């Protein structure tokens, strides 16, 4: 298993080259002193919990399915940095990897809106940066990601490359 403490599942996307790494994932409560946009998201609180880990980035549908198994309202590493304008083109992963997959409203019930773009408000309040951070959602027949500012900075999914394989 990887170096993140605890029982950590691993996932590897099928069809990716054998040299593509396996990753370990674990949900952590964000420490009370780190429950701000800057400390939890932009500074990536996972780096302080376990060196070499970071908030989860998602790059394929298999990884997305796995991430959706975590409790809703859990943050992933997708966010709009505070210094950038509040619009969809400015989303970045905290680990610096490209934004090559999105899961905004994937796999929602038929008949419901299934857009693959964030539903952004007209702009967060000046002091409320929670709408710049992305969380897992799974409620009312929908699943995917959300930028809604409720339940801000309670928990995050940390991701780290596994050091040992089965």
Q: What is the mean pLDDT of each run of 10 residues along the chain (166 residues)?
A: 44 53 88 87 89 91 84 88 86 92 63 53 58 74 68 84 69
CATH number for the domain spanning 34: value is: 3.10.100.10
CB 150 within 8 A of CB 83: no
Q: Is residue 117 part of a domain?
A: no
Query: Which of these, 111, 101, 82, lies nearest to 144 by C-alpha position?
Result: 101
Spatial neighbors of 65 by CB under 8 A, at least 6 apart, are none
Dist. CA 99–CA 114, nearest whole Å = 19
pLDDT number for residue 76: 92
Q: What is the pTM of this model?
A: 0.77
Q: Is residue 114 part of a domain?
A: no
Q: Is residue 90 part of a domain?
A: yes
Q: Is residue 10 part of a domain?
A: no
pLDDT number for residue 57: 94
Structural domain boundaries, residue 138 = 23-104+130-161
Q: Is residue 121 part of a domain?
A: no
pLDDT number for residue 158: 94
Q: Is residue 9 part of a domain?
A: no
Q: Is residue 15 part of a domain?
A: no
Number of domains in the chain: 1
């Amino acid at each position: 298993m990887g170096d993140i403490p605890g029982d950590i599942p691993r996932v590897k996307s099928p069809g990716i080259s054998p040299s593509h790494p396996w990753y370990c994932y674990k949900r952590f409560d964000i420490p009370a002193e780190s429950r701000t946009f800057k400390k939890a998201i932009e500074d990536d609180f996972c780096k302080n919990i376990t060196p070499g880990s970071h908030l989860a980035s998602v790059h394929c549908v298999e990884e997305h399915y796995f991430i959706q198994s975590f409790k809703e309202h859990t943050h992933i590493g997708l966010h709009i940095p505070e210094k950038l304008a509040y619009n969809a083109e400015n989303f970045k992963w905290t680990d610096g990897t490209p934004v090559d997959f999105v899961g905004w409203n994937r796999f929602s019930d038929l008949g419901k809106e299934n857009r693959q773009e964030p539903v952004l408000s007209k702009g967060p309040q000046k002091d409320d940066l929670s709408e710049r951070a992305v969380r897992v959602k799974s409620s009312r027949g929908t699943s995917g990601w959300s930028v809604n500012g409720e339940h801000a900075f309670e928990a995050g999914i940390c991701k780290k490359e596994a050091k040992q394989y089965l």
